Amino acid sequence: MKPFEAKARIEILRKEIEDHNHRYYVQNQPLISDFEYDVLLNELETLEKKFPEFKKDDSPSQRVGSDIKNEFEQFDHEYPMLSLGNTYNEDELREFDNRTKKTASGSFNYSCELKFDGASVSITYIDGKLSRALTRGDGNKGDDVTENVKTITSIPLSVRGSNVPEKFTVRGEIVMPRVVFEGLNNERTKENQPAFANPRNAAAGTLKLLDSRIVGSRNLDCLVYVVLSDELPHDTHSENLKAVAGWGFKVPDSIRLCKNIEEVLKYISTWENQRKQLPFDTDGVVIKVDDLSIQEELGFTSKSPRWAIAYKYKAEEALTKLLSVAFQVGRTGAVTPVANLEPVLLSGSTVKRATLHNAEQIAILDLHLGDMVYVEKGGEIIPKIVGVDHSFRNEESRRIEFIKSCPECGTFLVKNEGESNHFCPNYLHCPPQLKGRIEHFISRKAMDIDGLGEETIDLLFSNNLIRTFADLYDLGQEQLVPLERLGEKSATNIINSILKSVRVPFHRVLFALGIRHVGETVAKTLASRFDSIDSLINAGSDELTSVNEIGPKIATSIITYFADQENMELIRRLKAKGIRFTSEKTKGISGNKLEGMVIVISGIFQKHTREEYKEIIENNGGKNSTSVSSNTSFILAGENMGQSKKDKANELGIQILDEQEFLKIIDEE
């Protein structure tokens, strides 16, 4: 593939993946399967590696999705909840094994675990008592579902046992047994309520209910798959899981240690059919390096660990009738065709819709209205049409044609050369695109405006109260109170959060504007180089591209954005409301006294908290580690240092420094 072809394909993939991210994480209306999504993401990552000149910080390959809802309070994860890389075949699994063995400094075992299909939760215990439970969220923050989690009987409210750390976090999958799922759906059908699509959706939906009494009535279960702490009792993942089981948690007994990739493949083969006899849904196997020091050595990418991978089992197929095709517009303007199907049972749930991707896919399938189509549920989640049984076709049936105009605003669609998607170019006035930009503006990493989810934005939009994100700052409480589902309390919270957002720093405001190719990292880079929006507006192409990591494409996008008078009017209005369009120079602790050092923190300290010491280490050029290995430079030890870390340090001859000795190194008085 030539560079210009790769560049065009990368742009197509980024747009398509971002649209699917929005549908999955924000709208909760995914159009493609996990498998299809992974194929798209894998293709993007492969092209970005092969053509690194086109890799950007705001690419969806650098993102982790979010399940955050505004109804719950959010908190930071002490340990980020990253996603896992996926594979669907043996060759890719062997590549993972070869890559891991080349990087690891010693031999290791793999821990193989069934991948249960539910909702991930992170539960922190302090002094043996359940302190807080968070959903996965966006990987950095999650929703506080503590009260709901306390109703799940397999999750202990307090723990006892040997070597229990003062503070630790378990992560597990909240699952709903199939028999409970079937009973719940029967009840909902009798009460004329919509049935859940599958046990995973039922578990995730139940976990987010505001009434914990209902949560407690649905017999959810929790299967723990990892424990995290600065004071873990053992040096391997599997031994720590055994310890967790001894503390009273439910750990699946299907976990096995494998000495090599051949044993891993045998485990996968054994469970491919046996898993269907389990009371819970599974969709694959998770393979992890068992030794924690080697996990530390292998490290992470921006969104996933290098020491673990998920193998997904093959999808199932069914034959059903194509009733119609609808066309939906995403926030980027991409138009996606969606097939409406005669309901059919597939992988334990009823399928009524499937994705068709784009005009090319419709043409390849040669789809006609009323066709009998093969539907595949890749990743056992969202289906796609993979073929047509022509023996059932009525020769008089009408061929499916891709639309020529936007179904939302009527604008003629465009299809750029080398791209597969059709787009609505009316980005300043097409409703889904307008609402999508507002949703981006209010998001947590941008202006962080609480109380304004997708439904509320749609409500304000349909009542003609907003058309742009600048309109948010003209809203009054008296306009919100009469609206459906709001009321005085919600209106007050929304207005207060909007007013609070004027204090958001410049780099996040820049990100919130939604300038194409200006993601979170690029916005920070620009804000550090240009101290105001005006200096950025006046910057020419040469000045922009002189900034590290700002290439011609980003520079052109920035110049194009500020050349649009409607965008400039939005900025003028935001300025008038007091939004911060200038950088505030902050003093940061800097130094290189710990340059190249790997430091493990253990125990309780007097002068600084453990979190403060982690920050001090990073600010002085050091790297924090949670496990002791031959790479450890020294251990910063406080009172009640973990015995396992002390034993490992003595075994490896690693120096142990107390708090005062450490402070002398960094010259803190």
The letter for the amino acid at 208 is K
Which residues are bridge partners to 125 per DSSP? 130, 168
List of residues 6+ apart from 626 with CB closer than 8 A: 228, 229, 230, 232, 292, 296, 600
Answer whether 231's CB lies under 8 Å from 248's CB.
no
Answer whether 663's CB lies under 8 Å from 657's CB.
no
> CA–CA separation, 1 vs 310, rounded Å?
29
Which residues are bridge partners to 112 per DSSP? 256, 287
The DSSP 8-state label assigned to residue 491 in this structure reads H
The pair phi, psi for residue 208, each rounded to 5°, is -100, 10
Structure tokens at 130: 């359940």
CA geometry: angle at 133 spanning 129 and 139, to 5°?
135
Torsion of CA 196, 199, 203, 209, to 10 degrees: 10
Name the nearest CA neighbour of 596 among 630, 626, 633.
Answer: 633
> CA–CA separation, 586 vs 388, rounded Å?
62
Name the nearest CA neighbour of 111 among 279, 271, 292.
Answer: 292
Give the SS3 label for residue 65. Answer: coil
Which residue is listed with tokens 């992560």? Answer: 171
The pair phi, psi for residue 327, each rounded to 5°, is -125, 125
The letter for the amino acid at 310 is A
Which residue is listed with tokens 């485990």? Answer: 267
115 is catalytic: yes
List of residues 6+ apart from 466 with CB closer than 8 A: 438, 457, 460, 472, 475
Answer whether 81's CB lies under 8 Å from 124's CB.
no
Angle, helix 3-21 to helix 34-50, in steps of 10 degrees: 150
List of residues 6+ apart from 337 with CB closer than 8 A: 325, 326, 327, 355, 356, 357, 358, 359, 361, 362, 400, 402
CA geometry: angle at 353 spanning 352 and 359, to 5°?
155
The CA-based diameter of the chain, rounded to the nearest angstrom, is 87
Q: Are strands 282-289 and 334-346 parallel, antiparallel or unpaired?
A: unpaired
Which residues are bridge partners to 221 per DSSP? 175
The letter for the amino acid at 547 is V
Question: Catalytic residue among 49, 55, 56, 115, which?
Answer: 115
> CA–CA separation, 334 vs 311, rounded Å?
31
Name the nearest CA neighbour of 79 among 151, 40, 6, 134.
Answer: 134
Give the SS3 label for residue 269. Answer: helix
> CA–CA separation, 448 vs 497, rounded Å?
8
Structure tokens at 476: 């009054």
> CA–CA separation, 221 vs 199, rounded Å?
12
- Neighbouring CB atoms inside 10 A of 560's CB total 12
Give the SS3 label for residue 574. Answer: helix
Query: What amino acid positions are annotated as catalytic residues?
Result: 115
